[in-house]
Chain A
Amino acid sequence: MEIATLVVVVMVIVTALIFDFTNGFHDTANAMATSIATGALKPRTAVLAAGTLNLIGAFLSTEVAQTISGGLINEQQVAIGPEFIFAGLVGAILWNLLTWLVGLPSSSSHALFGGLVGAVIIGAGFEGVNFMGVLTKILIPALVSVLVAALAATCATKLIGLVTRGMDESKVESGFRHGQTVTACLVALSHGTNDAQKTMGIITLTLVAAGMQPSGSGPELWVVAVCGFAIALGTYMGGWRVIRTLGKGLTEISTPQGFAAEASSATTILVSSHLGFALSTTQVCSGSIIGSGLGKGTPVNWKVAGRMLIAWLVTFPAAAIVGGVACAVTKVGMWGVIVVAVLAVLGAFIIVRLSHRNPVNSMNVNESGDVKINAEATTAAQAA
């Protein structure tokens, strides 16, 4: 085997695992933000539970997809080489980190597919991309998932309000605490069974393409294990900035609302994945939180919701641009790959440094509803 191929394969595996980590990191909020906000679970306990369930989920479901892009790229015409995958992953990782910095939930799978599509457009031209697939698998579901989840959560919250009308508020609150924990755990488990698979698929298909594994075989045990651990570790680290936005920024959540939101998310995700209708977990969960606010009649912060919507619409093209640029550089050869890797590490480092200016962690996650990059404004407000 050529040394250059080996370097690229190793690079892809490493970046795939980093992507897996950021995926877990970004998506902890989906399952646990409401439980943390209502105090049903302590912040540390919540992320530990979510991390463990993601790990279990990864081992439970190891049936990887046959294609990397899930029909977005005409894989019969364009062979998705490891350099495309690498460039796509770099785009997805940087977009995940950037949205985490500003505390906005965004879909990791949209970022991944965006990065891949961008890399393919630069690497193989527009005919490599199935734009119909982009429309039906990315754009329409992005809008639909919010509507479905929001409607389900609005109905659920309203019904809970009707059934428990006139009851002792504190009894209702504590009763729904257990239900909220269980439904949140279901969302975390389904995340593990869905999202860890994507990275397993990428690594397995890369190994197959490099001739290191027979075609058509499932993921090796070590691939399952490292992917599971990467996503679980990311989940445990907790993207606290996103957790704050979802738990506190959108609307004030009580435990019945949290229950309604998580139950709606879990059912929407399960039903859609069972019908082969690819909805994004992130958008579903954000939609149900907004819906639970609408159902209860608590004010929804539409400014934050609007910023989120913009982030969702921008995710795909933004990751595509980064992926495309990365692909253009990797075309140079092995040195190009190394340059992209160094630049990506540098970019990630800058974003993490910026996040230290105003850190959000398990201690202060519930203190306010907004995530600012610079701390000055908040400290000034506290002093006043």
Chain B
Amino acid sequence: MYWDREFETMPWEKLRELQLERLKTTVERVYNNVPFYRKVMDERGIKPSDIRTLDDLRMLPFTVKQDLRDNYPFDMFAVPMEEVVRVHASSGTTGKPTVVGYTKNDIRTWSQLMARSLTMAGATRGDVVQNAYGYGLFTGGMGVHYGAELVGATVIPISGGNTDRQLMIMQDFKATILTCTPSYALFLAEEGEKKGIDFKKLPLKAGVFGAEPWSERMRGQLEAKLDIKAHDIYGLSEIIGPGVSMECSAQQGMHIFEDHFLAEIIDPDTGEPLPPGRQGELVITSLTKEAFPIIRYRTRDITMLMDDPCPCGRTHIRMRRVTGRTDDMLIIRGVNVFPSQVESVLLEFGETEPHYLLVVDRKGNLDDLEIWVELSEQWFSDKVRQLEDIEQRLKGRIASVLGISAKIKLVEPRTIPRSEGKAKRVVDRREI
């Protein structure tokens, strides 16, 4: 079942032609409208007209998250703000988020891509989509929402959290498709089991799970417990949000929507391109974005491309499940977290050389974040109240910067291990 047969099954050569044409337009657009891109291209003596083949893309430098930080909030936009109808944001590496913008056309494109994605999971007009992704600056909620409406399904915009209500509504509204992070889906399944809910008797048939890494083991659990087919979806706000790639019914990797995105895999150390079948870092160039076009964005996600034909008939190349990161970003309850964000908060609190450790665990299928902070001389007091006050203030500030709550644990000085050169900032005990 296709949403857009023409583009989804476009012959390989035709797809490349389309990509080249769109790449030229995109490079032209960024060169003329985004000072950042004009500068990096001028520095290298590259003009948009130098892009004659898809391989010429490699003349252009990578775009990294720091570039987005340097152009905070709107300087990477390629259109005037009057044409921007929406913004979303994701975690930056410090206190400031990474901001992206959409024109009306971008929202239309994104909705189309999400309609494609949901169709791959079997969504039709008759379906009821329980959308438990968070609504807000995070792209998950609204991305799924617009796509599901375009398909003509009934959307339950329930957003994340409140498990009892999720389970009640899933039963009463007869949800057929669940969209959320895989860890939350597993949590819902187990809470449901405790309440004696028999998911086999519910009309739920598919799940579209993303925004965090998961495994085949988790897929097995989700499919067995919820009696559904569980699909992996991939995306990131810097590119568009969810709907960059999606798993079809074959469940053998996610099709990257190549009519809108150009994917490369590179060696993260050398930046050299790697062929399909080799594991490396995913780099994406947007081909149709208007407000926030992006060239060779380093996603930091580790995966590989698979170009063998897919039984589903789609011609778009597939990417394997994301298996790791080339930076220290963590995904906790679907939220991107950088240890440097914690550091920036500690610096705000007057720490000159903060020592801290993020300890992540999965408790009952939910991620749990504890932040250990070495108690510095200046904070220590003989009064419990004063230490508890510091914990509370840190907790509040960290929740507002990270977007998720964390437990703060003050620890004795010099007890967080220092490794040679780079401090170890993360202990991840989750088994996924």
**Chains A and B belong together in one complex:** no
- A residues with a Cβ closer than 8 A to B are none
